[in-house]
Amino acid sequence: MLDVKARNNKIKASRKATKERRQTQSCRVVTCKIDQSKLSATQREALRRMFLEAKWFVNSIIASDDLFQYEIKGNTVPVRCKDERDEWILEDRPIIALSRQMEQGLLQECKDAIHAMKAKRDKAIKEGRKPPKLGRLKYRKEVAEIPLKQFGKTYRFAGPDTVRIQNVPGKLHLEGASRLNPDHDTDRSLTVRLDALLGFENKPVEYANAKLLHREDGYYLAVTTYEDTDQYEARRNARESILHHTPADGSKLGIDAGQTDQLTLSNGETVNEYVPESLRLKKAARQFARRSKYSSGWWDALHVLRLEYLKEARQRKALADQAFHDLHAKAATLYVQDEQISKWKRKTSQARGSRKIQHGILGRLYAKFKQDEHTIMLDQWQPTTAWCPRCGRRTKHPPGRETYRCAYCDYTARRDPHAAGNMIILSWRPLTRQELYQDRSIPVGPYGSI
Ligand SMILES: [Zn+2]
């Protein structure tokens, strides 16, 4: 009895210490691809089997009457399948690749999903909305994530770029593992410059739980890391200033997302980046539409289609990252307007160029703007196009016209750079609600600078 009590106290104390430490740490999830070319045949089979067993296991949880009473026991799991006479039976299949801790993790995720559904319903009831139906969890056709709960046990690092996963023989090689631990940065010169800039004692990065992911193009390891917040930010800022040679403080750039050009800058430049829909994607979509649902050809076609979508998404992400980087190389502070790109997508209006937006980078780019502390975002109600920076009056502007002409004074300008410039001026002093309700012919806002 005493032993149990002592052990529980020890666990409690260590939990408390971790909780206190976490308050000064930043949490980050780093995803690394597992190098497919270095997988042995047995490793490949172990991973394939692990995800198959995970599907069986999760479906057996869902099939149970009450998953909160579900007990993990034995080394088999009942799987519903057809026998030789084409009748449904339950067959006990052995669990070989999935470890007990992985099972516990999967069970916990099912419980969390139920809790989330309940919370959603309670919130709806509280707010007087119609509550969503509380269904049971749906049976899974595939399981794409396996939780690895305990660092050091379910998974551990075997070297700077290798990992061991419970029940998978040997080491797995990770791509881009230097992001997991900046001390292992392969770019030596950058590390040296960073060390010189930081100049304080290095606190080690801590690893918490992880997830093994199965995506269309292979396996990934997503690791939750904790690093001292001050250290993480110093490192990030130092890295940014080296990589992006930050321009002079005080330089400004307004950015207008538009109709003819994707982006127009307040200095008159334009940015247009599209990933054209590839012929391969079109072909994959056609093939997929032809198959009958859930046939083996359907699954194959789905795989090919998803792979093509993934490729396109990656290209778009790379372009958006590059564009963001380029914009910040031009000016220290960016000014944009919350244009709600996602709403444009839903509209089929040709004026907004919806098709272009779908294959463009605006959605991703604006998501980056939102998180960037050096981007100032105006709310969507500010009349960046209609407002005249010379006289402060507003002139309604038809969407097709390229030139802005103030109806009250002699100010004219190309529409998009005019709007982008107004973002800088109006962010300094946005129009108030009262000003917006006034007649357009009454001068409002910080006009007169042009
Ligand atoms: Zn005017």
pLDDT tens-digit map of 29-44: 889 999 999 999 999 9
Between 97-111, 139-153, 339-353, 414-428, the lowest mean confidence (pLDDT) is in 339-353
pLDDT tens-digit map of 214-226: 998 899 999 998 8
Distance CA 32, CA 37 (A): 15
The stretch 322-345 carries a mean pLDDT of 80
pLDDT at site 185: 46
CA of 394 to the centre of ligand 1 (A): 8
Burial of 110-124, coded b for 16+ CB within 10 Å and e otherwise, reads beeeeeebeeeeeee
More confident residue, 268 or 42: 42
CA of 444 to the centre of ligand 1 (A): 11
CA of 406 to the centre of ligand 1 (A): 5
CA of 421 to the centre of ligand 1 (A): 15
pLDDT tens-digit map of 194-244: 555 555 556 677 888 999 999 988 999 999 988 888 877 776 666 666 555
- Whole-prediction pTM value? 0.62
Burial of 198-235, coded b for 16+ CB within 10 Å and e otherwise, reads eeeeeeebbbebbbbbbeeeebbbebebbbbeebbebb
CA of 450 to the centre of ligand 1 (A): 10
Predicted confidence (pLDDT) at residue 131 exceeds the cutoff of 70: yes
CA of 445 to the centre of ligand 1 (A): 12
Which residue ranges make up each domain of the chain? 27-149+160-175+209-223, 252-378
CA of 393 to the centre of ligand 1 (A): 6
Q: Do residues 148 and 211 touch, judged by C-beta distance below 8 A?
A: yes
pLDDT at site 201: 56
CA of 427 to the centre of ligand 1 (A): 19
What integer best gives the mean pLDDT of the chain?
84
Predicted confidence (pLDDT) at residue 349 exceeds the cutoff of 50: no
Categorize the per-residue pLDDT at 187 as very low, low, confident or very high, splitting at 50, 70 and 90. very low
pLDDT at site 8: 87
The stretch 293-307 carries a mean pLDDT of 90
The stretch 126-135 carries a mean pLDDT of 82
CA of 254 to the centre of ligand 1 (A): 20
CA of 105 to the centre of ligand 1 (A): 64
Q: Find, among 433, 447, 257, the residue nearest to 337 by Cα.
A: 257
Percent of the residues in the chain that have a pLDDT greater than 70, as a whole number:
86
CA of 391 to the centre of ligand 1 (A): 4
pLDDT at site 385: 92
Predicted confidence (pLDDT) at residue 89 exceeds the cutoff of 90: no
- Percent helix, strand, coil in the chain (nearest 5)? 45, 20, 35
Q: In sequence order, what are the residues at sequence separation of 6 or more whose Cβ sits closer than 8 angstroms to the Cβ of residue 107?
A: 61, 67, 70, 72
pLDDT tens-digit map of 50-67: 999 999 999 999 988 888
CA of 386 to the centre of ligand 1 (A): 10
Predicted confidence (pLDDT) at residue 2 exceeds the cutoff of 70: no
CA of 403 to the centre of ligand 1 (A): 14
CA of 405 to the centre of ligand 1 (A): 8
CA of 428 to the centre of ligand 1 (A): 19
Predicted confidence (pLDDT) at residue 353 exceeds the cutoff of 50: no
pLDDT at site 254: 92
CA of 448 to the centre of ligand 1 (A): 9
CA of 143 to the centre of ligand 1 (A): 61
Between 107-111, 167-171, 257-261, the lowest mean confidence (pLDDT) is in 257-261
Q: In sequence order, what are the residues at sequence separation of 6 or more whose Cβ sits closer than 8 angstroms to the Cβ of residue 339?
A: 257, 366, 380
More confident residue, 3 or 248: 3
pLDDT at site 342: 54
Predicted confidence (pLDDT) at residue 6 exceeds the cutoff of 90: no
pLDDT at site 28: 85
pLDDT at site 394: 95
pLDDT at site 243: 52
pLDDT tens-digit map of 359-368: 678 888 998 9
CA of 431 to the centre of ligand 1 (A): 16
CA of 98 to the centre of ligand 1 (A): 70
